[in-house]
Structure 1
């Protein structure tokens, strides 16, 4: 796993795209603070950039770097949830502008996954994580279902296919600073 982390780190630091297993589905990733890399993700997915992408961070300390005010409720949800949960936060900061939604929000997940944790920790930053499919096509449930154009469109494919089977996207909750909780995807 260490070799794969090092290889992915090199690509992320150079502004490249990676294809990697997450705690949910296979993801296309890049440095979440690099607008050119984020633009390449949108182009690869053939997705309009008005539809925001999800980011992964290692822990709640890192989360506070990218969200001006992390509601206490969010920390409680993160602590008690028993399945991968992405939270949409108000007032994103320190991220590429083309990654942040028009309303200033950002979707972030703290994954329960060793590879993602160590990749984000050693990168010391947020990493984009969007499903490894062309927009409008089904989310691949395994590595072998990933379209060839996605495989060819990234700069590095993390070689952990045999160790990891990812098949369900995360739940998504929108949590506003004034305490309103909306379930976007169960």
Structure 2
């Protein structure tokens, strides 16, 4: 896994795109602060750039670097969540502008998965995470379900967990609004 992590970090630092396992399903990722890399992911997925993508982080203590004002309820949600949870926060900052939604929000998930946690610790920046499929097609549950079209367009494919067939699901999604308003987007 050490070589895999080193190669993935090197690709991310050079503005490249990786295909990697997450705490949910396989994802396509890049440096969340690099607008050119984010643009490439939209192109690979054939996805409109008005549809924002989420960001993975490994440490909630870093949230203040990327969100103007973290709603108090967010800390509770992150702390009590036992399954992967993406929280959409208002007031995104210090991220690629083409990653932030039109309303200024960004979805962030804190990963506890071994590979992505170590990757994020070494990379020291948030990582874009979007399902490894063409927009509108079924999200691949396992590595073997990822299309050759996707695989051929990334700069590095992580070897770790390619043979893993443990059932995985996308994360739950909650959007936080003004005054502590909570909207459940996906259970």
Checking the alignment, whether the CA contact within 8 Å between 2:175 and 2:184 is kept in structure 1 is yes
Distance 1:177 1:64, change over 3 A: farther
Q: Distance in 2 between the 1:69 and 1:112 partners?
A: 24
1:125 match: secondary structure: coil
The CA deviation at 1:163 is 4.9
The CA deviation at 1:118 is 1.2
1:172 maps to: 173
The CA deviation at 1:64 is 1.7
Alignment of 1:82 with 2:119, yes or no, is no
Return 5+ residue gaps in structure 2 as ranges. Answer: none
2:152 match: secondary structure: helix
The CA deviation at 1:166 is 5.8
The CA deviation at 1:36 is 0.3
Structure 2 counterparts to residues 4-153 of structure 1, below 5 A: 4-153=4-153
The CA deviation at 1:162 is 2.6
Checking the alignment, whether the CA contact within 8 Å between 1:67 and 1:92 is kept in structure 2 is yes
The CA deviation at 1:167 is 2.2
The CA deviation at 1:117 is 1.1
The CA deviation at 1:165 is 3.9
Checking the alignment, whether the CA contact within 8 Å between 1:140 and 1:167 is kept in structure 2 is no
2:185 maps to: 184
What TM-score comes out, normalization by structure 1 length?
Answer: 0.97
What TM-score comes out, normalization by structure 2 length?
Answer: 0.96
The CA deviation at 1:99 is 0.1
Alignment length, in residue pairs? Answer: 186
Runs of 4+ in structure 1 displaced over 2 angstroms? 162-167
1:178 match: secondary structure: helix
Distance 1:61 1:86, change over 3 A: same
The two structures, once aligned, show a CA RMSD in angstroms of: 1.1
Checking the alignment, whether the CA contact within 8 Å between 1:21 and 1:166 is kept in structure 2 is no
The CA deviation at 1:157 is 0.3
Cα deviation, 1:58-113, whole Å, max 9, x if unaligned, reads: 11112221111112211111111111000000000000000000000000000121
